[in-house]
Amino acid sequence: MRLATAILVALTVLAGPALAVSDAARDPGALPEIGPAPAFALMSQDGKPVNLIGLRGKVVAVSFFYTACPDICPLLTQKLVEVQDSLGEDFGSKIAFISITVDPEHDTQEVLKDYAAGWEAKTAGWSFLSGPPAAVHEVVRRYGVYAAKTAEGAIDHTLLTSIIDPRGVLRVQYLGMRFDPAEFRRDLLSLVTK
């Protein structure tokens, strides 16, 4: 019984910040300012350099995945596609998606390009990034994502999606698959400069 109570208390504590962010998201002016977003400079699926400073002026959603992921990454990508399709003209012009691989050894530009095409990602506003393993692992670490290869070759990793405002300030982080695409869309649009 004590173990069950301890688990319930731990889950309540962990859910508290997520619930607070959800409540704040209902008021467009209430999204918290976490701090400066960690910089990155990696290569896109098209072989073009992409860095956070170059995206200044846009709302940016940064997520982490890998193309061979059998379970949670496809679910995340599907949610992002839903939101991409619902943003209309703001997608690409005012809102950008960045998906950074946690498996740079496997996810080459060609693999990322095929993945983007398979999901019908609109690459005018969505970049799939990779680069030298050390550079990728540093970005992963700086965003607070855990990623480690298993003995079977899969990669255990946390699913974290961050929203960065047009000034480069980290505003919201969604952990796991719990976020609602409609809420995510509202949070993105609440930061768009009119």
Report how far apart, in Å, the C-alpha atoms of 64 and of each of 2, 17, 70, 132, 192 are.
Answer: 36, 21, 14, 16, 23
pLDDT at position 26 is 47
d(CA 177, CA 51): 26
115, 68 contact by CB (below 8 A) = no
Residue 42's contacts (CB-CB under 8 Å, 6 or more residues apart) are 49, 50, 51, 100, 129, 130, 131, 135, 136, 139
What pTM was estimated for this model as a whole? 0.83
d(CA 11, CA 39): 31
Q: What is the greatest pairwise CA distance in the chain?
A: 56
Beta bridge partners of 2: none
137, 50 contact by CB (below 8 A) = no
Domains in the chain with CATH codes: 32-190 (3.40.30.10)
How many other β-carbons are positioned within 10 Å of the β-carbon of residue 123? 16
Identify each DSSP E strand in 35-116 by its residue range: 35-36, 41-43, 49-51, 59-65, 95-101
The upper half-sphere exposure of residue 55, i.e. CA atoms within 13 Å in the direction of its Cβ, equals: 33
Taking only the tens place, the pLDDT of each residue in 72-112 is 999 999 999 999 999 999 999 999 999 999 999 999 999 99
pLDDT band at 20 (very low <50, low <70, confident <90, very high): very low
Taking only the tens place, the pLDDT of each residue in 113-169 is 999 999 999 999 999 999 999 999 999 999 999 998 888 888 889 899 999 999 999
Beta bridge partners of 61: 97, 163
d(CA 67, CA 122): 17
